[in-house]
Amino acid sequence: MIKVFIIDDALLVRVTIRKILSSCSEIQIIGEAENPVDAFEIFKKVGLPDVFILDIEMPKMDGLTFLKKLKDQKPVPTIICSTLVTTGSSKAIESLRLGACDIILKPQIGLHNSIEDITDEFITKIKAAAKSKTILPTNNKNIAHVQQRSLKQTNKIIGIGASTGGVQTLEKIFINLLPNHSPIIVVQHMPAGFTASFANSLNVICKNSKVKEAKENDVLLHGQILIAPGDKHIEVVQDGLLRYKVILKDYPKVSSHKPSVDVLFTSLAKVVKQNTVAFILTGMGRDGANGIKKVKDIGGKTYGQNEKTCVVYGMPKVAFDIGGVSRELALDEIANTINSI
């Protein structure tokens, strides 16, 4: 049984989340509070949960301050439940750096279809969070800029897929890339609107890369990292001799996700073929497994993050088990592998 505690100042939101989670017999809500200060008093009676569902903007204490206190005392997997606004999205990204596992959009009160649409997502993310390891805060120390060299251009294209725990994992990789690295396309499972904030935050701390949310017909360039938008599939197409660009597609979820890692990897296997280098990182589920197997079968290089350094060893495990991963890497090895391409 997964014990969940809800902290949100909106009563209707708490009631809606309770309704959503009541459909899953594996989840038990042990308490709720409208702010973290009141929550601390309730913990004395019911104990700490396995997973928190946490708002960011609340009276008495905001969600970011609560996460800092939680990190210092006893880290508990936390899912941020946030509205889609510009300032909120940037704070949600900051919460992931402080140790939160994932982000989910607040349910739209009064819309029955909205509740039905997000029930599976809520339950899946709670189960993933419950299985996750403690996430240490990201150290944004960039060591790559110390190295006085840049890489020669190659015709390799790098695809990366990640889910739960991916924000901190990707940051730790990207801050250590050397200038002129191969073009990188990322599918990080994240709600629409938050991917732009994530890309912007990466662009600030990654001194040797230009990071942006992907737009239709963006050309793949050395030293650039494109983040797939949170509500579109991303594919690679050829744009002239040895030149590639991305296109965005608005069709239903693939492998239960949109954007889907499988979609990205499948397009790379079809178009870039043996010049593809694919990495599948931390995350729950099997998205990316079939796609990375196609990359390997066409002659591309495939890597999976190893169990020891994954927040959730789900996606890489499935990919490894079906024979899609040629080699598993520790988190600290991934940047060096990219730099050596």
Could you list the active site residues? 163, 189, 287
Spatial separation of the C-alpha atoms in residues 218 and 61, rounded to whole Å = 41
Length of the chain: 341
CA dihedral 88, 89, 95, 101 (to 10 degrees): 130
If we measure between CA atoms, which residue out of 53, 3, 65, 61 comes closest to residue 28? 3
